[in-house]
Amino acid sequence: MAGSRTAGSGMVIAPHRWNALYLLAAITMLFMTLATAMQPLYLRNVLGISFSSAGVINANVQVVTEVLTLVVIGYLGVLSDRFGRVPIVVVGFLVGAVGGVLAPFSRELGALIGIGGLVLYYFARIVMAIGSSAVWPQLATLAGDFTTYQNRPQQMANAAFMMAFGSTLVFAVLMQLPGHAGIVPVMLLNGAIGAIGAMLASRFLADVAPRRHGQALPWRSIRLLLQQEPRLRIAFAAALFSRSDIILIGLFFMLWTIYFADLVGLDQAAAAAHAGRMIGLVGLVVMVTTLLWGQLIQRLGRVNAIIVALAVSGAGFVAMGFVVTPFGWYVFVPMVVMALGQAGALLAPDILAFDLAPDDLRGAVMGLLNVMGGIGLVIILQVGGILFDAVGPYAPFVFAGCGNLLVVAYALFLSYRHRGAAIVEGPARAGGDEGMEEFGPDVDARGRFLNGGRA
């Protein structure tokens, strides 16, 4: 799938390492998406959660896991600059596998211990979230480590394509299985996925980024970088909303169909299959457009791409406010519009932040970017759960759409305010490798020839 390519460090990345990275990107999203997608079915049919509290409880599970992993993501980003990305990925997969085995048996284990099935399910999902939070941010950062400024949009788009492919497989294939194989057997797949991911990462991935020395946390350096770079502030603002969009679609649309199934004469498994097909369609559109967004980001510029992507996606979310039933054919239109902007909204902020981060701070900057995404996820899911129960099942989507459009307005404001400072494109001022195109394809931003070793 990949030929040899040169990383920003000057090392030539062997094809099998790229292929392993792509495969692990898909496996990671299989793990994360399956856990979220199976949650409403498990809570409704195994733990017996009623419709009146479904929105809040399902959102609370996500919120609790996100709150407890926020610090983990940021701190692991700092550690990855010191110790490497790969060891953290391996341990993360193993931790996630443990949670994946515990979650399906929460009712039985909770009764045995005496704490209740819901409490143990919360614990299992926290374990899974901590494991996955150690994996996907490091894989995204490693994909950036493997690239130069010129090929970064396309190669990171390739990795994002595989992540979208993993999500699509869950809804298009795996979510069709509970009606045939049962809920618990499908949930147990996460244990196997985590173990396979750990094995592949330990055997085929390699670190190429320079290590950061010293024990002090580099928050002061990152704060100065944010003060100096309005483009980085736009990336962080975009991450605040864009990271939650896919999870929000998967959770609340699945909830909407499962708890409205009785109105159209369907059982929960059939409703979940319908939701899986629709969310699978979203994933398919995201997957197909990811590679296109890689080219658009390079042509439009990072900031312009963020503006366009969030505007399109936000319009789709707001349009969900006109949907009456999730089983009508017309729900197809806003969901496709949402999906058209999703790949760019996820990809462009990562690329922009990676461009602007100094080599030995990339893990910390990307970790903090992911923390911002987690904060946005907590806010949107918590408020979305309340809106789902109090206003209606369409309300979380409209809320998320308004957030996306608010970031568009902020990006346009900063672009206008700093239009004389080349905010949309231009050399990085903080030691990243943006502006590399000024030196030609064989020389990096500091004038070093890219003829180093091989990874």
The interaxial angle of helices 86-102 and 54-83, nearest 10 deg, is 150
Which comes out higher in pLDDT, residue 436 or 102? Answer: 102
Average pLDDT rounded to a whole number, residues 50-66: 71
The pLDDT value recorded for residue 77 is 82
Task: Please state, in angstroms and rounded to a whole number, the distance separating the CA atoms of residues 135 and 295.
Answer: 26
Task: Please state, in angstroms and rounded to a whole number, the distance separating the CA atoms of residues 40 and 116.
Answer: 18
- At 83, the pLDDT band (50, 70, 90 cuts) reads confident
- At 202, the pLDDT band (50, 70, 90 cuts) reads very high
The pLDDT value recorded for residue 94 is 96
Q: Which residues contact 340 (CB under 8 A, 6 or more apart)?
A: 285, 289, 312, 313, 316
**CATH (domain of 123):** 1.20.1250.20
Nearest one of 163, 119, 132 to 69, comparing CA atoms: 132
In a domain, 326, yes or no: yes
In a domain, 232, yes or no: yes
Residue holding tokens 């991935």? 205
- At 192, the pLDDT band (50, 70, 90 cuts) reads very high
Instruction: Note whether 426 and 231 are within 8 A (CB).
Output: no
Task: Please state, in angstroms and rounded to a whole number, the distance separating the CA atoms of residues 29 and 324.
Answer: 30
pLDDT tens readout for residues 86-124: 999 999 999 999 999 998 898 888 888 888 788 888 889
Which comes out higher in pLDDT, residue 255 or 102? Answer: 102
* Residue 25: count of CB within 10 angstroms of its CB: 25
pLDDT tens readout for residues 364-393: 888 888 888 878 887 888 888 889 888 888
Angle at 93 between CA 3 and CA 121, to 5 degrees: 145
The pLDDT value recorded for residue 9 is 52
pLDDT tens readout for residues 224-247: 888 888 889 999 999 988 877 777
Average pLDDT rounded to a whole number, residues 200-207: 90
- pTM, rounded to two decimals: 0.75
Instruction: Note whether 251 and 59 are within 8 A (CB).
Output: yes
- At 181, the pLDDT band (50, 70, 90 cuts) reads confident
The pLDDT value recorded for residue 404 is 92
**140 to each of 162, 362, 379, how far by Cα in Å?**
11, 11, 23
The pLDDT value recorded for residue 452 is 39
pLDDT tens readout for residues 121-147: 888 988 998 899 889 888 988 888 888
Q: Which residues contact 387 (CB under 8 A, 6 or more apart)?
A: 395, 396, 399
In a domain, 455, yes or no: no
Angle at 209 between CA 206 and CA 215, to 5 degrees: 110
- The pLDDT of residue 415 is above 60: yes
Residue holding tokens 């900063």? 414
Instruction: Quote the domain boundaries for residue 366.
Output: 13-208+218-424
Please give the mean pLDDT across all residues of the chain: 81
In a domain, 434, yes or no: no
The pLDDT value recorded for residue 111 is 85
Lowest mean pLDDT among 83-87, 112-116, 437-441: 437-441
Number of domains making up the chain: 1
- The pLDDT of residue 435 is above 50: no
- At 423, the pLDDT band (50, 70, 90 cuts) reads very low
Above pLDDT 90, what percent of the chain? Answer: 22
Instruction: Note whether 294 and 156 are within 8 A (CB).
Output: yes
In a domain, 429, yes or no: no
- The pLDDT of residue 433 is above 50: no
Instruction: Note whether 45 and 183 are within 8 A (CB).
Output: yes
Q: Contacts for 380-384 with beta carbons within 8 Å, 24 or more apart?
A: 380/241, 380/244, 380/248, 381/59, 381/62, 381/63, 381/66, 381/244, 381/247, 381/248, 381/251, 382/59, 382/60, 382/63, 384/55, 384/59, 384/248, 384/252
Task: Please state, in angstroms and rounded to a whole number, the distance separating the CA atoms of residues 263 and 253.
Answer: 16
Query: If you average pLDDT over each of 88-97, 199-208, 252-261, which comes out highest?
Result: 88-97
Task: Please state, in angstroms and rounded to a whole number, the distance separating the CA atoms of residues 400 and 387.
Answer: 11
Above pLDDT 70, what percent of the chain? Answer: 86
In a domain, 248, yes or no: yes
Task: Please state, in angstroms and rounded to a whole number, the distance separating the CA atoms of residues 368 and 95.
Answer: 22
The pLDDT value recorded for residue 215 is 58
The pLDDT value recorded for residue 10 is 52
In a domain, 324, yes or no: yes
The pLDDT value recorded for residue 285 is 87
Question: Could you give the residue ranges of the DSSP H alpha helices within 357-394?
Answer: 362-390
Nearest one of 127, 76, 81, 80 to 103, comparing CA atoms: 127
Local structure of residue 6 (DSSP, 8 states): E
In a domain, 438, yes or no: no
- The pLDDT of residue 3 is above 90: no
Lowest mean pLDDT among 150-159, 230-239, 256-265: 256-265
Amino acid identity for residue 447 in this structure: G
Question: Could you give the residue ranges of the DSSP H alpha helices within 10-151?
Answer: 15-45, 54-83, 86-102, 106-113, 117-133, 136-145
